[in-house]
């Protein structure tokens, strides 16, 4: 084990499997692990076990937490009375993953561990802290961009405006616009009070957030983005910077 590299716990996606095979598979694109390695960290994939003692044990050995993309967060966590029409658009990862990640976020905040959240991870982080989601952009946001560009997962498909004075602005070297990929149909609705937006697309969708008042929170670092920098870091400096800055925060925090 490379002791100089901060250990980054990565929460995987889940898939249903036949009961004889264990009933639940943990699935993760290697692009996340490669991006963490490129940023200077040691990727460590944790199995989805939504048990409080297990989460306490693994987070006790982690220097940082990466929440990844995947299918939708269960609507009962943010809109129990959702209409059937909206529910029909949702494809969930499952209650096990939701429960696991809720425990991970709670433990990260309790321990002051840096967090980086990507796509679904950003949505889960917002829900975990009391925010809500837009269940389906096309059904509820007038004149929205096409955010579900699964035909171009590793391509820049639209720009987001980066808010000045934010952590993301520093990572992007003060530039106002950032090109991103986009493979989501849900988005942040009401932002949890502890966060502030740091990037917005021209249709008003929140594309990133961070801590509103870092000095008032035990966490030294939070970055959440709706796009997928793990698919872009090898070609675009800012998307690599997102991982190097996260890993650097994890390294500083454990010293």
Q: What is the mean pLDDT of residues 28-53?
A: 97
Q: Which helix (H) or strand (E) holds 159?
A: strand 158-162
Higher pLDDT, 1 or 112: 112
Q: Other C-beta atoms within 10 Å of 129: how many?
A: 16
Confidence check: pLDDT of 4 > 90 = no
Those residues with Cβ within 8 angstroms of residue 85's Cβ, 6 or more apart along the chain or in another chain: 139
Q: What is the pLDDT of residues 192-217, one digit of tens each?
A: 999 999 999 999 999 999 999 876 66
Confidence check: pLDDT of 80 > 80 = yes
**What's the token pair of residue 31?**
């692009």
Is domain 7-254 classified as CATH 3.40.50.880?
A: yes
Give the model's confidence band at 16: pLDDT under 50 very low, under 70 low, under 90 confident, else very high.
confident
CA distance 22 to 12: 16
CA distance 156 to 69: 17
Q: Other C-beta atoms within 10 Å of 147: how many?
A: 22
Q: Which helix (H) or strand (E) holds 158?
A: strand 158-162
Higher pLDDT, 111 or 254: 111
Q: Other C-beta atoms within 10 Å of 52: how many?
A: 11
Confidence check: pLDDT of 20 > 80 = no
Question: Cα 191 to the chain's mean position, in Å?
Answer: 14
Residue 2 has a pLDDT of: 53
Q: Which of 167, 161, 201 is nearest to 184 (CA)?
A: 201
Confidence check: pLDDT of 48 > 70 = yes
Spans of all domains in the chain: 7-254
DSSP single-letter state for residue 90? -
Confidence check: pLDDT of 43 > 50 = yes
Q: What is the pLDDT of residues 51-67, one digit of tens each?
A: 999 999 999 999 999 99
Give the model's confidence band at 23: pLDDT under 50 very low, under 70 low, under 90 confident, else very high.
confident
Q: What is the pLDDT of residues 69-79, one digit of tens each?
A: 999 999 999 99
Give the model's confidence band at 31: pLDDT under 50 very low, under 70 low, under 90 confident, else very high.
very high
Residue 111 has a pLDDT of: 94
Contact assessment for residue 13 and residue 118, using Cβ atoms and an 8 Å cutoff:
no
Q: What is the pLDDT of residues 100-151, one digit of tens each?
A: 999 999 999 999 999 999 999 999 999 999 999 999 999 999 999 999 999 9
Q: What is the mean pLDDT of residues 238-246?
A: 98
Q: What is the pLDDT of residues 84-101, one digit of tens each?
A: 999 999 998 889 999 999
Residue 1 has a pLDDT of: 44
Contact assessment for residue 151 and residue 158, using Cβ atoms and an 8 Å cutoff:
no
The mean pLDDT value of the chain amounts to 94
């Amino acid at each position: 084990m490379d002791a100089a590299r901060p250990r980054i716990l990565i929460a995987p996606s889940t898939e249903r499997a036949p009961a004889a095979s264990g009933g639940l598979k943990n699935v993760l694109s290697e692009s996340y692990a490669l991006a963490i390695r490129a940023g200077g960290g040691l990727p460590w994939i944790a199995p989805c076990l939504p048990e409080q003692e297990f989460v306490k044990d693994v987070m006790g050995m982690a220097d940082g937490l990466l929440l990844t993309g995947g299918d939708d967060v269960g609507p009962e966590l943010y809109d129990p009375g959702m209409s059937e029409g909206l529910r029909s658009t949702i494809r969930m990862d499952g209650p096990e993953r939701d429960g696991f990640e809720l425990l991970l976020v709670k433990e990260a905040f309790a321990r002051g561990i840096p967090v980086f959240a990507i796509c679904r991870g950003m949505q889960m982080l917002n829900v975990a802290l009391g925010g809500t989601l837009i269940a389906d952009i096309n059904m509820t946001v007038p004149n929205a961009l096409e955010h579900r560009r699964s035909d171009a997962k590793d391509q820049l498909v639209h720009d987001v405006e980066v808010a000045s004075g934010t952590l993301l602005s520093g990572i992007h070297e003060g530039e106002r616009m950032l090109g991103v990929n986009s493979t989501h149909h849900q988005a942040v609705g009401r932002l949890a009070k502890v966060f502030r937006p740091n990037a917005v697309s021209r249709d008003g969708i929140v594309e990133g957030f961070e801590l509103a008042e870092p000095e008032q929170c035990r966490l030294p670092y939070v970055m959440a983005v709706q796009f997928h920098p793990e698919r872009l870091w090898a070609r675009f400096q800012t998307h690599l910077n997102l991982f190097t800055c996260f890993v650097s925060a994890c390294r500083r925090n454990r010293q």
